Amino acid sequence: MPDKQPQIPFGAVYYRKSNPPAEDWERDYRIAAEDGLNTFRHWFMWSAIERRPGVYDWDDCDRQLDLAAENGIQTVIAEFTMAAPEWLQRKLSHAVQKKADGTTMASTLSPSVAVGGFGQGLGGAGALTLNDPGVHGAVMEFLTLLATRYKGHPGLLGYDVNNEVNYQPDFDHSDPTKAAFRIWLREKYGDLDALGEAWRRYSYAEWDDVMPPRQVQPYPECLDWMEFRKQNFYGHVADKIAAIKAVDPDATIISHGIAGAMTAMAGHGCDDWMAASQVDVYGYTWIAARKGNQPWRNFYAGDLIRGAARGKPYWHAERQGGPLWMQPQVLGRDREDARVAEAEDVRLWSLASFAAGARGMMNLRYRPLVDGPLFGAFGSYALDGSRTDRSEAAAAVARWLNDPGHRDAMEAKPVRGEVGLLVVPETQAFDTVLSAEGGFQTYSHAMWGAYRGFFEQNIQADWVHVDDIEAYQILYAPYPIMWPELIAKRLRDWIAAGGILISEACPGYFGNGGRIGIHQPNFGFDEVFGARETHVEFMPDIADRDRIFWQGTELPCGGFRQVYEPTSGKGLATFDTGGTAMVEATYGKGRTLLVGSHVSVGHFRERESGRLGAPQWWRGCLAWSGVSPRVETGNAQLVARLHEGEGGRFLWIVNPSRLPQAGRLTVDGEEVSGRCLMGRDSGPGITVPGRDATVLAV
């Protein structure tokens, strides 16, 4: 391990076997070190190393570690046992992953590297399932050899054990995985009778009668199958970590996801909270060319991973440094929408991530690939390794971050947000099966809409897992349609103890196993919200036709619609079609506000189409809660974040627009000025150049 880690790890993913060529390595390392890059991650692909059974080619990997040590660069070894040797996939063909219809997973070349042995989805060993003892043993044996070889190397920082944590939802129905599923079910239910009762399948005679569901419907068996697959996946990651730690107990363990928890936590296993809990450093891939270049998106991923990391350091582990050609995510979008990355874009994307709290960064390519569908993509250095204006922009950020004079700023962390966005994994899991046939995206649009609504008012909304609610005074629940009974009780107790909950429609409408409560709101929340349901509509395809009249304005509806009769609560708004649409109440020491549709969905979809949305609603929620935004700029184009640490308070003011933007700074209602660490102005009056940031010690 290095004697001294850098103040901020900053670098790129470098070696992927197919590119860059060996004759350029020494020069590239020298240039990277000169430019202030201090960290490289490399793909150590099993299929490119163990070429025959027991015959290993470590030469290229050895050279990367040696060059790192010679140039003062640290190495993150990304273990890629997901690229399994072709000979092993033939030898253990009984363990090939399958779809429900029997279609087998093929061994392919990854689009991100011209090397064979990959499966069609992550999470296995090539096309093989780790639920097979032979596959599992071979993977752990390889990782043991890998860790033994590089333990103590002066160029080693640590191991990335879970690259872009996710798996394909169509797999795996192979016999080894079916057997593992039955073991998991036996541990959960105890016996076949209990399982049959829960699944409404009453004629199981033997455990071999139990099969994974082939349909995707809102039934307990489908929810169990999704939960098993997630736990099974992360269990194998834990085994990998244990294999490395058995050899090198001091190894730094790292992983990174795709900030996919709001879209794919259930179906693809993108549980950023669970992934972060396993490692020392967590991170995320976020590429504007694939996601969109709107200001809220460039902060969203960093904020999400900060919440999931729960105080651990986290990195923007893969940040775009160049263009993306001809991929489906970019088609039809403007060239300025991250398709043709400019130096100013690289600077903006980097600074926005650090403003959100990231404390490490890597470009996902040092140089672009020269093979495959991602040719020419993402690299900040040119195809031949020469510098570009984009690499110079990244280098300038790297030098600033690692300036010893900025140590206090980089040790400070974002303050707690004014409001927390409630994340209940079981809710997304249920919505995944509930919405599958209609292809609805209500859950993700609700979560994004609430985040975006607060963000556009310069309100920091934190992503709060239900296990962490005690740390927050105010929670907003954008799409709370399914709560298991234990979670519902936890939320009731939190409110009774003084919590403030703002909930959109149908809180806990579905309970354990997806069963509807016959009294709504469910689980005693009629008392919590001071209202009972008089009418409900599940018509997300036409919900945007309705409006809520509130405080002299109209709020757009979306998702579902629930009409109320206040009991102990007070009605605050009505639907345009009639009936109470909003109720406030007190419960114990806490307060609640219930709104009868998913305003977050309406806001998101209107904003995506260029309409107004519901800007007044988001500040209104804070006003109702008795809270004011902590930081004000007086200019909606500027995004300001307050960081605090032992070395003081620091303001990051980011300007995502292409033109200079002026503002006037206040923190907690008072004008502030300070020592400028980045930029020229010191406030309270401030001007930030386009696609840039100012950082002040205040």
Question: What CATH number corresponds to the domain at position 138?
Answer: 3.20.20.80
In a domain, 145, yes or no: yes
Considering the domain architecture, whether residues 618 and 656 belong to the same structural domain is answered as: no
- Note whether 568 and 664 are same-domain residues: no
**pLDDT tens-digit series, residues 541-579:** 999 999 999 999 999 999 999 999 999 999 999 999 999
* Cβ neighbours of 551 (radius 10 Å): 12
Q: What is the pLDDT of residue 683?
A: 74
Based on the domain organization, do 672 and 575 belong to the same domain? no
Compare 123 and 480 and report the one with higher pLDDT.
480
Spatial distance between the Cα atoms of 161 and 235, rounded to a whole number of angstroms: 12
Which element (helix H / strand E) includes 453?
helix 442-455
Task: Indicate if 689 and 579 belong to the same structural domain.
Answer: no
CATH number, position 562:
3.40.50.880
Answer yes or no: are the C-beta atoms of 129 and 135 closer than 8 Å.
Answer: yes
Q: Count CB neighbours of 624 within 10 A.
A: 15
Residues 434 and 371 in one domain: no
- Give the list of residues 6+ apart from residue 486 with CB closer than 8 angstroms, or none: none
> Which domain-ending residue is among 371, 402, 433?
402
Q: How confident is the model at residue 24 (pLDDT cuts 50, 70, 90)?
A: very high
Whether 227 is covered by a domain: the verdict is yes
Residue 654's CATH number:
2.60.40.1180
What's the whole-number mean pLDDT along residues 348-375?
96
pLDDT tier for residue 47 given thresholds of 50, 70 and 90: very high
264 and 166, same structural domain? yes
Domain boundary (561, 590, 625) is at 625
User: Does residue 173 belong to any structural domain of this protein?
Assistant: yes
Mean pLDDT of 295-314: 97
Confidence of residue 2 (pLDDT cuts 50, 70, 90): very low
Structural domain contains residue 565: yes
Q: How many domains does the chain have?
A: 3
- Verify that 134 and 260 share a domain, yes or no: yes
Q: What is the DSSP letter of 515?
A: P
Q: Which residue has the tokens 């962490």?
A: 468
Which of 347, 376, 402 is the last residue before a domain boundary?
Answer: 402
What 3-state DSSP class applies to 76? strand
375, part of any domain: yes
| Cβ–Cβ under 8 Å, residues 617 and 402 | no
- pLDDT tens for residues 169-214? 999 999 999 999 999 999 999 999 999 999 999 999 999 999 999 9
375 phi and psi angles, rounded to 5 deg: -60, 140
On whether residue 412 sits in a domain, the answer given is: no
Does position 241 have pLDDT exceeding 80, yes or no? yes
Counting residues of the chain whose pLDDT is more than 90, the rounded percentage is 97
Measured between alpha carbons, how far is 415 from 238 in angstroms, rounded to an integer?
31
2: in domain:
no
Residues in CB range of 2: below 8 A, 6 or more apart: 74, 154, 155, 156, 157
- Which helix (DSSP H) or strand (DSSP E) does residue 12 occupy? strand 10-13
> Which pLDDT does position 682 carry in this prediction?
73
Residue 682, domain extent: 631-697
Q: Are residues 485 and 569 in the same domain?
A: yes
Residues 264 and 346 in one domain: yes
Q: Please state, for a pLDDT cut of 70, what percent of the chain lies above it.
A: 99
- Is residue 609 included in any domain, yes or no? yes
Residues 35 and 97 occupy one common structural domain: yes
35-48 mean pLDDT: 98
pLDDT of res. 1:
37
The answer to whether residues 651 and 609 belong to one domain is no
Mean pLDDT of 105-132: 92
Task: Name residue 440's amino acid.
Answer: F
B/e letters for 241-256, b = 16+ CB within 10 Å, e = fewer, are: bebbeebbeebbbbbb
Same domain, 567 and 646: no
Q: What is the tens place of the pLDDT at every residue in 630-680?
A: 999 999 999 999 999 999 999 999 999 999 999 999 999 999 989 999 998
Q: Residue 4's pLDDT band (boundaries 50, 70, 90)?
A: low
Residue 405 above 70 pLDDT? yes
Least Cα distance to 139 among 258, 220, 218, 235 occurs for 235
- Taking Cα atoms as reference points, which of 343, 583, 541, 577 lies closest to residue 441? 541
